[in-house]
Amino acid sequence: MPYTIAVYMVQDFLGPNASQTQISRLTGILAASFCAAQFVTSILLGYLSDTYGRRPIVIMSNISSLLSVLGFGMSTTYLSALLLRLSGGFCNFTFGCLKSMIGESMDLPTQALALGYLSLSWGFGTILAPARKPSRQVRRGDSAEEMHSPEPGKWSSVAATIDELSPMAGTVGIELVPQTLVTISASQGTEPSSEQTATAAIASSGQQDDLQDAISASGSSQANQDAKMHESDSEHAVLMADSEELQPQGPGEQKQSRREAAAVDRQRVWYQERQVQLTILGYGSIAFLLTPLFAAAPPAIGGVGLLASQLAVPLVFCGVVLMWYAVYGYPWFQRNYGAGFSCRVGLLVTAPTVLLIPVSHYFSWSVIAAQLALCLILGLKSMGAANAFSGSMILVNNASPKHAFGKVNGCGQMVASFVRAIGPAGAGLVWGGTAQLQLAGKHFMPFALVTAVALLTQLLYVFVKLPVLDK
């Protein structure tokens, strides 16, 4: 939600006489600051999570989020808001740790469910935060200065809504999250099982059988598998190792198989593998934010002119759609068509729907009409984005060596943070620049750039070859 309310906060900070170019530029910088900070520390935090475990990094990240978001909502100046967003980003690796834990402790069908639950939490936040009103309401008869007064706590209730969830997340991180890092859990005798994850019980035995059939089709005997591991490329080696783990064996044979698979896994150099590089680049490319800038801009320059409370309606609808699709739609799609195909379909859906967003400008004559248009467009976009984003994360985890999940996800977050920082900052500059042009349809230009990136990412995934992830 800080991305969504940033444009309205900047409007408050600058006052009623600020130009759209200035608002767009400063909003872009503020929205980019968190991810710019993440870009600096993601690799380091990934290495630390591979060394000391995921749990301490998750706890640190939750505490950082709690303090920085609360301070952000209480900010009275642009500079204080910017510094607080930067401080929150420097210490945040929650999502990288969660992706690593999912890859370490779950099979493919269960990974889809787990990522669906992550999207469910985002959808819940998308619904809850817009539904809460700012502490100070703009009243009829307020002067322009009163309407834009950056009084303390004006946005604090929105920030507090987000922070209400952070202590719960911190509690889960401390009390409930199992240790999934193999080097630590094995030494403590607490190696995670499927029963230790909230979603493992949901995965059906039929799904597990399908996965085993798909993997074991590449080879059956132990000797042939070992020979192929040395002859094939790295991703085929992972396929053989996973197949080996799924074969019916006694306890002693299972431990031996795991040790041999781990030895092969440790020999892989993750940053030299082409499939790891491609999946990281693909994951990082799926991140741009333009909608809040566009929705808040006046209709005279191609925007919609929605107030924060009016934009909440399509955002809440988008959250509802995301929650439903994340739990029921994406897991079904991934189970039937595979993660790779799901990701590519998601990108194909996202590209045209992004280009449809500025169409809502032509409904700006009516707030309700504009809200309905944005509801339909953003609802469809959220389903495509869920496919693309969740699919890309599964591809990253399954291309990665198991011993380097933290490093690979740290690198993935670094690339994604770079794109998410450049995206909002660039969006602010492009939107501010196009606002001054006297061209028909100028409001389509920034969204056309996002569409082009989605199509280029689609081309990149043509070169991702992980056969077990497609049906």
Q: pLDDT tens, 336-348?
A: 888 888 888 988 8
Residue with tokens 């309700």: 368
* Nearest CA among 422, 407, 411 for reference residue 36: 422
Task: Give the contacts of 31 (CB within 8 A, at least 6 positions apart).
Answer: 2, 3, 6, 289, 424, 425, 428
Give Rg (Cα) of the chain: 23
- Per-residue tens of pLDDT for the chain, all 471 residues: 566 677 778 888 888 888 877 887 888 888 888 989 999 999 999 999 888 888 888 888 888 888 888 888 888 899 999 999 999 999 989 888 888 888 888 877 788 888 777 777 766 666 665 555 444 444 334 444 444 444 444 554 455 445 445 555 555 555 555 666 655 555 555 555 444 444 333 333 333 333 333 323 333 333 343 444 344 444 444 444 444 444 455 555 555 566 666 666 677 777 788 888 888 888 777 655 556 667 777 787 778 888 877 888 888 898 888 888 988 888 888 888 888 888 889 888 988 888 888 899 899 889 999 999 999 998 998 898 888 888 888 888 888 888 888 888 889 888 888 887 776 666 667 766 766 667 777 778 778 877 888 888 888 888 888 766 666
The residue count for the chain: 471
Two tokens, residue 339: 């993660």
Please tell me whether the overall predicted TM-score, pTM, comes out greater than 0.75 for this model.
Answer: no
Two tokens, residue 274: 């082409």
User: What element of type H or E holds 429?
Assistant: helix 405-434
Assigned CATH class of 2-181+287-469: mainly alpha
HSE toward the beta carbon, residue 358, CA cutoff 13 A: 21
Is 279:235 a contact under the CB 8 Å cutoff?
no
Ordered alpha helix ranges (H), 172-246: 182-188, 205-216, 222-231, 234-246
The residue type of 65 is S
Q: Tell me which long-range contacts 178-183 makes (C-beta under 8 A, separation of at least 24).
A: 178/105, 179/53, 179/54, 179/55, 180/54, 180/100, 180/101, 180/104, 180/105, 181/49, 181/50, 181/53, 181/54, 181/104, 181/406, 182/104, 182/262, 182/402, 182/403, 183/403
Q: Give the DSSP letter string of 331-368.
A: HHHHHHHBHHHHHHHHHHHHHHHHHHGGGGGGGTT-HH
82-112 burial code (b ≥16 CB/10 A, e <16):
bbbbbbbbbbbbbbbbbbbbbbbbbbbbbbb
Q: pLDDT tens, 15-57?
A: 888 887 788 788 888 888 898 999 999 999 999 988 888 888 8
* Nearest CA among 94, 84, 60, 83 for reference residue 159: 84
- Strand, helix or coil at 204? coil
Is 49:93 a contact under the CB 8 Å cutoff?
yes
Residue 202 φ/ψ region, left for φ over 0, alpha for ψ in the -120 to 50 degree band, beta for the rest: alpha
Distance CA 219, CA 228 (A): 9
* Nearest CA among 399, 374, 380 for reference residue 463: 399
Q: Where are the domains of the chain?
A: 2-181+287-469
- Cα end-to-end distance, the chain, whole Å: 36
Is 325:386 a contact under the CB 8 Å cutoff?
yes
